[in-house]
Structure 1
Amino acid sequence: MLAYRITQAGGPARLCDIAPLPPGPGQIGVAIRRCGLNFADLLTQKGTYQDIPEAPFTLGMELSGIVTKTGDSVNNLAVGDRVAVFSGQGGLAEYGVFDAGRATRIPDGMSFDDAAALQIAYGTSHMALNHRARMQPGETLLVTGAAGGVGLTAVEIGKLMGATVIAHARGAEKLAVARAAGADHLIDDSEDLRARVLELGGADVVYDAVGGAAFKAAFRACKPEGRLLPIGFASGEVPQIPANHLLVKNLSVLGFYIGGYMKFRPDLVRDSLACLIGWHDDGRLKPHISHILPLDRVADGMELLRSRKSTGKVVIRIGD
């Protein structure tokens, strides 16, 4: 089977032809149909992500497909089930073996495209805003990088949770995408972010996927008791947080990494995904997928993320 792999630490990723493995106890074998790309895939290739498997390994953190085999002790899934798998690795391949606890059965009405695009970006935004920030209806949410893979989902989920959403992005095209997802106010990257947010009354919650100057400006535009969620650092700069300013304004900075929850509170991740699937079934959310590419164009998909030329999600098509 074909798989997009890193064969040695620090080496480049490439398509390889490898033998599939049978599922062991508690595992399932999946014929993979789609795999969603994430900025974390770029960091993994660079060797700078916080959770990198030992080489060799196959990239791809979230996927959808059909169960083809089950190992011993798997009682919740059966051959033929359509599933979404929060894999962590292994999704960019024609076939994979995964722990059954990482898989969720998906409804017949959900496409493989949507299932592959739903898990990490939407799960990150839903758990960050709901579980970590405890955002309430009527609060103001500022989203930086609001047209990107996770930022756009924060706009959409923020509106579903009853927030007033301020979207910050680069250029009219990306801001239009954020507007379509429900943003109430739009701020272009060329504007003074702090001044514009303060004109709108300040932010109760900041969902920052950019870091760098955007985080610094958003930090200064928080209301008293504001909560900041550093989700990613697409700018390449990890912000340093002045603790004395936290004290003066009674601010909270809340770390969130969904992969960590898969290790110590997987039940919260499963409950979040069940909520998101329910919202999808009700027509209340729809993943925005800007590009669907075949497996032999994974590198092109990664470049779309790297250059920030995609909006929403990039999905790799592996099977029909």
Structure 2
Amino acid sequence: MKTFLVTDFDHPAQLVDVATPTPQSGQALVDIRACGLNFADLLMSKGKYQDTPRPPFSLGMEPAGIVTALGPDADGPKPGTRVVVFSGRDGLAEQGVFDATRCLPLPDNMSFQDAAAFQIAYGTSHMALDYKARLQPGETLVVLGAAGGVGLTAVEIGKVMGARVVACARGAEKLEVCRRAGADHLIDTDTQDIRDEVKALGGADVVYDAIGGDQFNAAFRACNPEARILLIGFASGDLPEVRPNHMLVKNITLIGFYWGGYLKFRPDPLTDSLRQLLTWYGEGRIKPHVSHTLPLDRAGEALDLLRQRKSTGKVVVTMPPSP
């Protein structure tokens, strides 16, 4: 089978042929049909992600496909079941073996591409906004990087939860995507000042920050008393400088959030969140936005779309059915 393999952190990943894996105890073999890409894949390819394994390994954190076999003592969906997997890696391959308990059956109306674009992005935004920030109807939610993979889901989920959503993104094309996702107000970060624009709208109650750097600083200065700031990621590459005295005076809460971490120490809220999200999907209230779909032999190009910030929503890599 073919897999997109990282052999060391100084060279780009390459598509190579390897032996088809055999499921071991507790594992499921999945015929992978699609895999969503994340900014974390770029970090992992350079050894800069918090959960980077030792090479060699394959990229791809959220594959979707069909279970074809179970290993001994595996407690998971039966062969033939369509599933999505939070694998953490190894999704950019034609087949993969994964912990059977991480294989989640798909609703009948969910395509493999939607499933591959769904889990991390929607799971991150829903857990962050609901479980962590306790976003309330009528509050003002400011989303930084609103046209990105997780940012766009924060716009959607914020609207479903009844918030007034302010989307911050670069350029008219990306802002139009945010508007279609339900944003109430749009801020072009290329030409407008986030602080001034948000303050003119009455200030921020919750800030969802996947960017960091100067945008964090601007949004921080536009926060209302008792605002909550969610640290989701640092796509700018610039870690923000926090002013604790300002947090104290305005009673601002700074919240770090890493979705995958809950698998290790508290999986129940994550499972409850995914159950709610799948219900919303079935009701047509949320719908993944996939801007680019490329085949496995163009996985390097797919990652470049993220690296160069040319995508909106999610980038998905597809695989042909195994013979």
Contact 2:140 2:165 in 1 (8 A): yes
Paired position in structure 1 for 2:241? 240
Paired position in structure 1 for 2:59? 59
**Structure 2 letter corresponding to 1:124:** T
SS in 1 for 2:234: coil
**Structure 2 letter corresponding to 1:6:** V
**Structure 2 letter corresponding to 1:12:** P
Deviations 1:206-238 (A, max 9, x none): 001111110000001111000001111111101
Deviations 1:24-69 (A, max 9, x none): 1211000000000000000111221111011111110001000000
Paired position in structure 2 for 1:104? 104
Contact 2:137 2:162 in 1 (8 A): yes
SS in 1 for 2:118: helix
**Structure 1 letter corresponding to 2:124:** T
**Structure 2 letter corresponding to 1:92:** L
Cα separation, 2, equivalents of 1:102 and 1:205: 31
Residue correspondence of structure 1 range 157-306 to structure 2 within 5 A: 157-189=157-189, 190-306=191-307
Cα separation, 2, equivalents of 1:319 and 1:284: 30
Q: What is the identity percentage for the equivalent residue pairs of Structure 1 and Structure 2?
A: 62
Shift of 1:138: 1.2
SS in 1 for 2:88: coil
Contact 1:9 1:54 in 2 (8 A): no
Shift of 1:266: 2.0
Cα separation, 2, equivalents of 1:270 and 1:24: 25
Cα separation, 1, equivalents of 2:240 and 2:204: 18
Contact 1:207 1:228 in 2 (8 A): yes
Shift of 1:12: 2.5
1:25 equivalent to 2:25? Answer: yes
Cα separation, 2, equivalents of 1:232 and 1:9: 21
Cα separation, 1, equivalents of 2:107 and 2:194: 41
Cα separation, 1, equivalents of 2:202 and 2:124: 26
Q: TM-score, normalised by structure 2?
A: 0.97
Counting matched residue pairs gives: 320
SS in 2 for 1:216: helix
Shift of 1:276: 1.1
Paired position in structure 1 for 2:319? 318
Misfit runs of 4+, over 6 Å: none
Paired position in structure 1 for 2:2? 2
Task: Kindly report the root-mean-square deviation, in angstroms, between the aligned alpha carbons of the 2 structures.
Answer: 1.0
Cα separation, 1, equivalents of 2:29 and 2:10: 29
Shift of 1:140: 0.8
Cα separation, 2, equivalents of 1:21 and 1:273: 28
Cα separation, 1, equivalents of 2:124 and 2:287: 16
SS in 1 for 2:50: coil
Contact 1:148 1:310 in 2 (8 A): yes
1:74 equivalent to 2:74? Answer: yes
Contact 1:10 1:47 in 2 (8 A): no
SS in 1 for 2:256: coil
1:41 equivalent to 2:41? Answer: yes
1:143 equivalent to 2:140? Answer: no
Cα separation, 2, equivalents of 1:147 and 1:8: 31
**Structure 1 letter corresponding to 2:229:** L
Cα separation, 1, equivalents of 2:98 and 2:268: 17
**Structure 2 letter corresponding to 1:201:** G
Cα separation, 1, equivalents of 2:26 and 2:249: 51
SS in 2 for 1:146: coil
Cα separation, 1, equivalents of 2:204 and 2:219: 8
Shift of 1:9: 4.4
**Structure 2 letter corresponding to 1:167:** A
Gaps of 5+ in 1: none
**Structure 2 letter corresponding to 1:34:** A
Q: TM-score, normalised by structure 1?
A: 0.98
Gaps of 5+ in 2: none
Cα separation, 2, equivalents of 1:267 and 1:9: 34
SS in 2 for 1:109: coil
SS in 1 for 2:195: helix
Cα separation, 2, equivalents of 1:258 and 1:133: 14
